[in-house]
Chain A
Amino acid sequence: MKNKYLYIILIAGVLSSCFKDKGNYVYTEHEEITVTGIAASYDKISLVDRITIDPVVTSNKPGAEFKYWWGLYETSVQGAVPKVDTLLRTKAIDYLVVQPAKGWVLVFGAKNIKTGYTKIVTSNINVITQFTRGWYVAKTEAGKTDLDLYLTPTSAIPASKMENVFSMVNGKKLDGKAHTLRFYHDYKALTGTSFLNTRALFVVTDQDASVVNIGTIKEIRDFNALFYNAPAVKKPDIVTNGSAAFYFINNGKLHSIYNMSANSGQFGVQQMVNEYNADYKLSKFFYSAGFYDPYFFDELSSSFYSAGGASLQLTSVNSSATSKMPAKNNNKRLLYMGFKTTSQTFAVFQDKTNQNLKILSTITPSVSAMVILNDTLAASEKLYSATMHTLFNGDENMMYFVVGNQVWSRNLSNRFEQLQYTVPVDETISFICHRKYTVASDLAFNYNYVAVASKKGDSYNIRMFTKTSGNLNPIPAFTITGKGEAGDVMYISPSVYGSTYPNTL
């Protein structure tokens, strides 16, 4: 019996003999290599600027001899593994930046060849071009759409202008009247042999659409190429994103790209509204908070729907028991819905039967239990007669709207309405919108404006107003003027991402 323990010990000994002793018995002080002279980030213009750095490298080990290398890899890569390209094997670097406009990481390595110890230091390189910062205006002249770019070298206030940059680069204009600009940092475009995240601007008109690389303004895809199978009718309504997808509504029908897996940037088959493939027509007004699926409104059935990017069918939306109006078949026309916060928004409805009945609704979005609380508008209230609307993205609880050539505000908490601005009588208001940009790393360019765009003869004015406690300051901070009629305006910078601005009108 005692032998049992002997055998057990023997087995343990045999087992342990199979393992190698990999212990570290070096008790000398760790080497510390210090690298100075490399900033945390640099902004560089592609094909113009150079990366010129001569870092100081020291070690606490006497007699250190270093060898060095510099590398560069791109960030925000999806669909491929980023590769570090070795640039140089010298201590100092003087390198002409040739990379396309987007985020890159510069890597510096210093290896003490006596000890084999290496120190790695990284720095963010924002590669920019003349197209990567400024105000873009989608404008229409004689039924054709182009882009004007207002350059902002030191702040959000423009210093100069480049007209018709879309046609200048692509040799063509878009058909139709401009109505939407949307920017996304993760639209997939062919780069080499892979489809990679690309900073891209959608330009949308009532007859055409194009997506361009913001670094070059070169067209990535035209309307037909944006779809696996282009719709027969060219009537773009909106482009938006959601938590996991891009969406394109054309002629009231929804197409999507599931963007959480590899894709080629092409929108898929038209989603069905139900299992019977009934007809539907989605409104151009919708709600999207970016981190969940958007909410759309079918004008034919007067019903809300949501939609997943990989789905083939819209998702039916149900009402909460506390909702004052059903989310389905509510017999209303949607006159406006925009983005207020990530948990609540507002809409203006008109009854289909009694067209004199108009309602301002507070909506808490939810697929399973949407809450719609209604406030009937009196004909005497200015909002009743509004033709254009906008909400403040996260700011004061106010809606701005247009009546004739006047811009009015309505306090959504107490119904107080107030005239904010009247455009000159020879101008017609084209659109209003709220744009704000609050990026800590780009403080000099931060702004918060209400844009009032108008048409005067053959030219446009876009007045950018700052506001105080929700009221417009009397004089605009600046006014953009150009040829044609403005359809949308958007500020672009290297720090603008797909989530910077609401997708809604």
Chain B
Amino acid sequence: MKNLKYILMATVLLLLYSCKEEYYLYNDIKRIQFGPDITRIYTPSYNLADTLKSYIFFYESAAKQQDTLFFDIYAIGGVSNTDRSFKLEQVAVPGAENAVAGKHYKAFNDASLTSKYVIKSGAVHAKVPVVMLRDATLKTTTVTLKFQIAQNENFSTGEPANVWRKAIFTDRLSQPPAWDNSATLYYFGKYSVVKHNFFIEKTGQKWDNDFILAIRPDYALLTYWRGMVKVALVNYNLQNPGNPLTDEFGEIVVIP
């Protein structure tokens, strides 16, 4: 009985506490955090957009030995009359092939980049460049570069969910993020490098993330491209009787 009394009292206190709305105010110290593209900052559904970006060197010419991904970062707490640097640091991802500074990407403290990691005077937004290097090992591996904001003399870190970003890149053909579960189930079937190569060969399109994202909103256009590869696959199998297109897992390539 005593227990019931205490439980009820605790419930009352909890309810009283829950009536109070709590706000995390950012007017104490200057903070900095990542965010979506500047055109999306007032669209709540995009608050966690762009946490992950991927890149494939495979489509580029051999002359291209490095390329850059850009992330959006925002200072909180107003503008300043002076440029304010911010600091980034790599975070190891357990179980992943972590990118190596100087080998797979330019280190965040590389002299050529330090001037880029700055919120300019009078501004609250900057594009954060991450320079990927086309190391030979990327031909056989896909590396992950997770990085986060480190506190420095100008900024403390912002909302925990927005203090990190991740880049995944490789130099081999690999599954674009837009070829997701839904695309697998309804449009293109299970991903394989053989299938991806076949799509590229038969259509002249990259079938990379940008291409798939571009065709998905237009169902008629998506159906057109799906039809192109499906008809090409049927014709290939007809021209190779008893030897249908088979992927690297030993499975017959199928498009739903």
Contact = CB atoms under 8 A, between A and B. Distances in A.
B217 interface: yes
B92 interface: no
A15 interface: yes
A17 B8 contact: no
Contact of A14 (B1, B16, B217, B218): B16
Contacts, number: 75
A276 interface: yes
B82 to A, nearest CB: 41
Contact of B15 (A14, A310, A312): A14
Interface in B152-205: none
Interface in A1-21: 1, 3-4, 7-8, 10-11, 14-15, 17-18
B215 to A, nearest CB: 11
A264 B220 contact: yes
B243 to A, nearest CB: 16
Contact of B1 (A1, A10, A268, A277): A1
A3 B9 CA distance: 11
A105 interface: no
B234 A277 contact: yes
A18 B20 CA distance: 10
A264 B231 contact: no
Contacts of A4: 4-5, 8
A81 to B, nearest CB: 16
Interface string A294-336: 0000000000000000101000000000000000000000000
B230 A312 contact: yes
A277 B233 CA distance: 10
A262 B231 contact: no
A262 B234 contact: no
A277 B238 contact: yes
Given A258-B220, A310-B219, A268 B227 contact: yes
Nearest to A188: B220
A8 B217 CA distance: 53
Contact of B223 (A7, A264, A268): A268
Contacts of A8: 8
A14 B221 CA distance: 57
A18 B19 contact: yes
Contact of B217 (A228, A262, A270): A262
A326 to B, nearest CB: 26
Given A261-B220, A269-B231, 16 more contacts: A7-B9, A11-B11, A11-B12, A17-B19, A257-B220, A258-B223, A262-B220, A263-B220, A266-B224, A268-B223, A269-B227, A270-B231, A272-B234, A277-B234, A277-B235, A312-B226
